[in-house]
Amino acid sequence: METKNNLQTPKEEKNAASPAGQKALKIFLPMAILGVAILAALYIGSTAPKAQRTPPPLREAPLVETIVAKYSANRVVIAAMGGVIPSREITLKPQVTGKVIYVNPQFTEGGHLNRGDELLRIDDQDYRLALAEQQSALASAEYELKLEMGHQDVAKREWELINNIDGTQEAVDDELALRKPHLEKAKADLAAAQAAVKQAELDLWRTSIRTPFSCIVKTKNVDLGSHISVQEELAQLLGTDEYRVRASVPVNRLKWISIPRKEEKKSSAVKILYGNGTIYERKGQVIKLLSDLEEEGRMARVMISVSDPLDLNSPKINQPPLLIGEYVRLEIEGPEITNTLCLPRSALREGENVWIARNDGTLDIRKVKIIWRDESSVLITEGVSEGENIITTDLSTPVQGMKLATLENIGAKKGQQN
């Protein structure tokens, strides 16, 4: 019985050995796969193309543009802004009363009149009658004076006969006897009559209201048939022979502007630029400096004269007139300064420095002396020699002595190679 139990069939032996085989398979199979992967990686690494190491490229010198320094005489120009105002502006008022019987056709808003043109006329009939009355009174006063002169001769002879010319009479009696007070009154009456005639003539002349200067009518407050009284506002008139521009300039710019004074008649010329889109130009002259500063900007104010702003005396083709209230740009001419170098404002670096391209192709950062600067240019008197190359190109990191490439240097190298 025991012998039978110890004996096993082949199938049972195979089932007993399978767990050990499975364990061995789990260990050796991954190792085989890993080995194959390593061999494949080594093969790929040995056969792949290798990158060649190259040294980094040398940094090229930046290419810059330059201008050649050339000293000459340059004029200072002060830029400013200003507003156009009338040189003359009056409110016209009559000096006599009456009915308006004539109005000039040009007496309308915007109308132009020359100096001495009759603007309107007041009915003068009453003033002619008043003049006739005063002339009659003058004739009577002249008659009375002549009559009194005759009385003077008679009184003198009578006084001499009565008193035998002994010179003992009192002065008062002498004056009365010789009718001296009568003579003085006659002369005074004549003077008053003459003054009354002149006043009547003046009132008659004032019935014709004329323009005191060439003007344009700004406002009109009266018309034909109106009854006007003394000091009533008839119109506002603006002079047309000249306009003025009131300009604001920095106080430190005044030393460059020639302003006429009693002992000095010279004044700075001014270029006046105006217009929207198309820019037009006119000429003017600085005539005075105002005594106060601007309240807001604390800037000085100068007055500029512009002749014939409406082109009435010399019409201009395709150029509009200058208008009151227009805002204009000004270029005031200052003195001409000799032996100066004019550079664009963009060539100035970090305040008062410029960049010089030396002949050996290196950068020189140099400080210069500036006598004038504005928004677009600067005038230099010292720091740059005649003929040196001034760099106008911007450099990101300028360093003293750094290498540069200019168009001139590149052209010279190509010529040497050829």
**Predicted local distance difference test score (pLDDT) of residue 16:** 46
- The Cα–Cα gap between 392 and 59 comes to 22
For 111-184, where are the E strands, in sequence order? 112-113, 118-122
**Predicted local distance difference test score (pLDDT) of residue 54:** 59
Residue pair 310/300 in contact by the 8 Å Cβ criterion:
no
24-33, 379-388, 406-415: segment of lowest average pLDDT: 406-415
Burial tier of 61 (Cβ tally within 10 Å: 0-12, 13-18, 19+): middle
- The Cα–Cα gap between 376 and 56 comes to 42
Judged by DSSP in three states, 342 sits in: strand
Task: Give me the mean pLDDT over the 367-396 stretch.
Answer: 91
Which range scores top for mean pLDDT: 27-41, 351-365, 402-416?
Answer: 351-365
Q: Is the pLDDT of residue 58 over 60?
A: no
**Predicted local distance difference test score (pLDDT) of residue 234:** 94
Task: Give me the mean pLDDT over the 268-297 stretch.
Answer: 91
Average pLDDT, the chain: 83
- Give residue 202's region: left, alpha or beta (phi > 0; psi -120 to 50): alpha
**Predicted local distance difference test score (pLDDT) of residue 314:** 81
Q: What angle do CA 233, 103, 99 make, to 5 degrees?
A: 65
**Predicted local distance difference test score (pLDDT) of residue 147:** 80
**Predicted local distance difference test score (pLDDT) of residue 1:** 39
Amino acid at 56: P
pLDDT band at 183 (very low <50, low <70, confident <90, very high): confident
**Predicted local distance difference test score (pLDDT) of residue 14:** 47
**Predicted local distance difference test score (pLDDT) of residue 84:** 96
pLDDT band at 270 (very low <50, low <70, confident <90, very high): very high
pLDDT tens for each residue of 186-196: 888 889 999 99
DSSP 295: T
* Tokens representing residue 75 in the block: 């004029």
In angstroms, how far is the first alpha carbon of the chain from the final one? Answer: 117
**Predicted local distance difference test score (pLDDT) of residue 144:** 82
Task: Give me the mean pLDDT over the 68-83 stretch.
Answer: 93
Task: Give me the mean pLDDT over the 92-114 stretch.
Answer: 94
**Predicted local distance difference test score (pLDDT) of residue 329:** 95
- The Cα–Cα gap between 135 and 148 comes to 20
- The Cα–Cα gap between 121 and 111 comes to 17
- The Cα–Cα gap between 116 and 13 comes to 149
Judged by DSSP in three states, 310 sits in: coil
Q: Look at 351 and 168; give whichever has higher pLDDT.
A: 351
Residue in the block written with tokens 């290196």 = 362
